[in-house]
A and B are shown apart, each in its own frame.
Chain A
């Protein structure tokens, strides 16, 4: 019984971690949608958010909300800068563009290490949310439950926005056929800028809110990048698909590691490998398949 409770609590951890990956990966999917290139600096945006939460955090709720707002602005700016940086490379093939984002990731990671040092920086949640509540004989951090609630709202909002609003329809049209979308009078440049800004904002805000779960440390950017790549590929790019894949990866990384410590590390990439062979990523933001 107590073992079952351990698994249940670990599974809840998996939900929190999966939702964290969802927030970041949804941003990656948005950027992939408009650029057709995987943004290899996406983990760097997450890390920027996590360091932001560390630098601004003083234990109060106001500082967390302030950091999140700053993260949204910083991320939106980052997305737009990325878009501008890649414009000269348009028409040069996807490899050059991906390498450029990777170069940015290397340089910024070095800047972070220079400023914040090479040790991981544990980031505590605000005092108001720092307690834990009793669940099946285990104490469970309140912050994680709050994070789950916030992320669920965010996921629902994103889904509704992309699938059920005019703005979302314009974005999907721009992604699936830019020329035709432009011909019907959609301002595709604005749609692309909006998607890049939103994608960056999701990554940095994810970093601010996720810092107590996956804290700022050198290398965290690559961890987040690799996991969100897996999520976007396995999820096929739609918001609901990304959510399902993120929750799956969250469970593999928590319950999987507890139940099958040897097999779990293989599971992610084996699944990604199979999905790529069966169904290559083609139509981001499309309907779930």
Chain B
């Protein structure tokens, strides 16, 4: 436990603004690369990229709980699935207008999260992890058993999305990818705003020392519930994008593997949102791209990635700090 006193708060280091400029430049460069991707790679890689972007939203949602609010979650796949099935059922009713699908899917995710939050948020730490795991398993079981609605284990095939009412359906992998990417960028901008808001700071406070936050007069339960509902909505948005990209949904999309991959992506990100997105991209690339190149050894690649992340992260963090400290001409801490 680290109790930070007023004297220990470090002064803002010199060069913060230039560092921030560099970070902003890097994000811009990544976005440009992401937008230009369809011009460079083949259709299969683009469809993988769409999957990665949808999973990146799930990773953002997991990171909001795990890395920011200090609630390690395996359960966001359940809300991801709520969004995915809402989208698929809407498409089945003839609603293929993508923004409507997305909005209603996020509402469904938020609603599901609001209903489960009072139960789930009674717990913390490892117990929270296990409770969220139970939520994910119950949701996946429901998707598999409620065959009359969800199509059971066979899943549902879904009509292609349209970008405005009456327009032609979007079927090209590149266009679908751009739609998925655009929604992702909008939602991650909203997430960035959330993190700098009072709520975002309060959530970090809860992760560090919840009793102290409560003693300071923060309505901790309300704040965590808000975070849980927002995380549910973001995960459901990811689910909607997955269905838009794959045009198919099955219980495997909210299965244990997806849940574990999201937590892995969040762990790779070590508390940061940009890291979680990088983690999601890395996980999909490791499993599907490298896995295919190594003759189906995706599981081993993922496992090794996981072990590297866990064992090497402190060393990498220390090395990165030394490098930046050297660059900014300060003494290594």
Give me the interface of A with B, judged by CB distance under 8 Å.
37-38, 88-89, 92, 94-96, 98-100, 102-111, 113-114, 222, 226, 229, 233, 262, 265-266, 269-270, 272-273, 276-277, 280-281
Say what secondary structure dominates the interface of chain A. helix
Q: How far is the CA of A96 from the CA of B314 in the complex (A)?
A: 11
Does the CB pair B310–A277 fall under 8 Å? no
Q: Given A96-B310, A114-B297, A265-B145, list of 5 further CB < 8 A pairs?
A: A37-B126, A100-B310, A107-B303, A229-B130, A265-B144
With A226-B256, A229-B130 known to touch, is A100 a contact of B300 (CB < 8 Å)?
no
Does the CB pair A95–B134 fall under 8 Å? no
Q: How many residues of B contact A (CB 8 A)?
A: 38
Most chain B CB inside 10 Å of its own CB: which residue of A262, A276, A281: A276
Contact partner of B138 among A98, A102, A107, A273, CB < 8 A?
Answer: A273
Does the CB pair B300–A106 fall under 8 Å? yes
Tell whether B24 is near chain A: CB-to-CB under 8 Å.
no
List 28 A-B residue pairs with CB atoms under 8 Å apart, sorted by A's residue number: A37-B126, A38-B130, A89-B310, A94-B126, A95-B66, A99-B264, A102-B303, A102-B306, A103-B304, A104-B307, A106-B306, A107-B303, A107-B307, A109-B303, A110-B297, A229-B130, A229-B133, A265-B144, A265-B145, A266-B141, A266-B145, A269-B138, A273-B138, A276-B131, A276-B134, A277-B123, A280-B123, A281-B127
> Which residue in chain A gives the minimum CB-CB distance to B306?
A103
Does the CB pair B131–A277 fall under 8 Å? yes
Q: How far is the CA of A21 from the CA of B311 in the complex (A)?
A: 31
Most chain B CB inside 10 Å of its own CB: which residue of A92, A103, A114, A270: A103
Tell whether B260 is near chain A: CB-to-CB under 8 Å.
yes
A99: B residues at CB distance < 8 A: 263-264, 267, 306, 309-310
Q: How far is the CA of A96 from the CA of B266 in the complex (A)?
A: 11
Does the CB pair A273–B131 fall under 8 Å? yes
Contact partner of B299 among A110, A269, A273, CB < 8 A?
Answer: A110
Tell whether B154 is near chain A: CB-to-CB under 8 Å.
no
Tell whether B135 is near chain A: CB-to-CB under 8 Å.
yes
Does the CB pair A103–B127 fall under 8 Å? no
Q: How far is the CA of A289 from the CA of B280 in the complex (A)?
A: 42
With A88-B311, A266-B145 known to touch, is A110 a contact of B303 (CB < 8 Å)?
yes
Tell whether B161 is near chain A: CB-to-CB under 8 Å.
no
Does the CB pair A265–B141 fall under 8 Å? yes
What are the 3 closest A-B residue pairs judged by CB atoms, nearest first?
A: A106-B303, A103-B306, A110-B300
> Which residue in chain A gives the minimum CB-CB distance to B139?
A269
